[in-house]
């Protein structure tokens, strides 16, 4: 007899009764992931630095029946991070899902980039991630219901690039940190993974999508799939990795590069 339950298959991507925190929620990827979680039944907590944009998102989400709240916070500020989790405790009783979508870069090579500039990238893209993950994991352990932590890393975590000395270091750190965190938290049924994207469409990257540009043509030489990433491509993997369908997966760095890593 085939040992797969119909009820599991029917609900393996459901996030009903879950509370999901999304950082960097005003960005193209963060906002799309947050809305997708809401569509799948989660209560969503949106956080980023821009309060006005957050409030606009809440209005948009609520108009579609998504239960959500927002709070402006700097993920690099520990007091701000604490306030985010205070809101979650007060409103929903604790997080089941953390998806980290915030990030920062200031491209420069080692000959031009000061130690302070390098530290700023490490703080924004690695230290702040640890800070948010630490409190989230403590809350999840205290609740005793397990959880999912998903960190947005980068294709650049394993393949260096000129001018990306700080960024590559921070994202490489995120990957190995997630693997270690997965070992720390497995006994508490908390899964920790990263998603490692190439360039995805956003307001900041739209200029790269011009099919007649040399930038676009050069990118496609490295992407066997033959195109750059669309938001839906990211959302599919990001929802899978926080859903019951991925309960056996932890400590992974998941390729969202269109084949770049394998090329």
More confident residue, 223 or 93: 93
- The pLDDT tens digits of the residues spanning 113-123 come to 999 999 999 99
Residue 22, strand partner residues: 46, 99
Q: What domains appear along the chain, each with residue ranges and CATH number?
A: 6-254 (3.40.50.720)
- The pLDDT tens digits of the residues spanning 210-234 come to 888 888 888 778 878 888 888 899 9
Rounded to whole angstroms, the Cα distance separating 116 from 215 reads 30
185: CB partners within 8 A, 6+ apart: 137, 140, 141, 149, 191, 192
Residue 10, pLDDT > 90, answer: no
Residues with catalytic annotation? 167
Average pLDDT, the chain: 93
Helices within the chain (DSSP H only): 6-11, 28-39, 51-63, 78-91, 115-122, 128-143, 165-185, 214-222, 231-240
More confident residue, 22 or 260: 22
Question: CA nearest 42: which of 150, 175, 189, 198?
Answer: 150
Rg value, the chain, Cα: 18
What's the pLDDT score for residue 263?
Answer: 64
More confident residue, 104 or 42: 42
* DSSP state letters, 235-248: HHHHHHTTSGGGTT
């Amino acid at each position: 007899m085939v040992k797969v339950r119909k009820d599991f298959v029917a609900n393996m991507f459901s996030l009903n009764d879950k509370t999901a925190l999304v950082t960097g929620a005003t960005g193209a990827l963060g906002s799309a992931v947050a809305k997708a979680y809401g569509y799948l039944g989660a209560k969503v907590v949106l956080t980023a630095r821009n309060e006005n944009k957050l409030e606009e998102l809440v209005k948009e989400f609520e108009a579609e029946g998504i239960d959500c709240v927002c709070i402006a916070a700097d993920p690099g500020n520990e007091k701000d991070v604490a306030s985010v989790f205070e809101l979650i405790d007060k409103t929903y009783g604790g997080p089941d899902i953390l998806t980290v979508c915030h990030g920062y870069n200031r491209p420069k090579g080692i000959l031009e980039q000061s130690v302070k500039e390098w530290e700023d990238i490490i703080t924004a893209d690695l230290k702040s991630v640890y800070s948010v993950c630490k409190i989230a994991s403590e809350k999840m352990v205290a609740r005793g219901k397990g959880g999912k932590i998903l960190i947005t890393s980068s294709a650049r975590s394993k393949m260096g690039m000129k001018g990306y000395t700080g960024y590559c270091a921070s994202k490489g750190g995120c990957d190995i940190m997630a693997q270690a965190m997965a070992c720390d938290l497995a006994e508490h049924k908390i899964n920790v993974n990263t998603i490692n994207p190439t360039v995805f469409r956003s307001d900041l990257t739209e200029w790269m999508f011009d099919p007649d540009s040399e930038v676009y043509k050069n990118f496609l030489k490295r992407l066997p799939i033959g195109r750059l990433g669309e938001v839906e491509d990211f959302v599919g993997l990001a929802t899978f990795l926080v859903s019951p369908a991925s309960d056996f997966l932890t400590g992974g760095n998941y390729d969202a590069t269109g084949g770049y890593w394998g090329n």
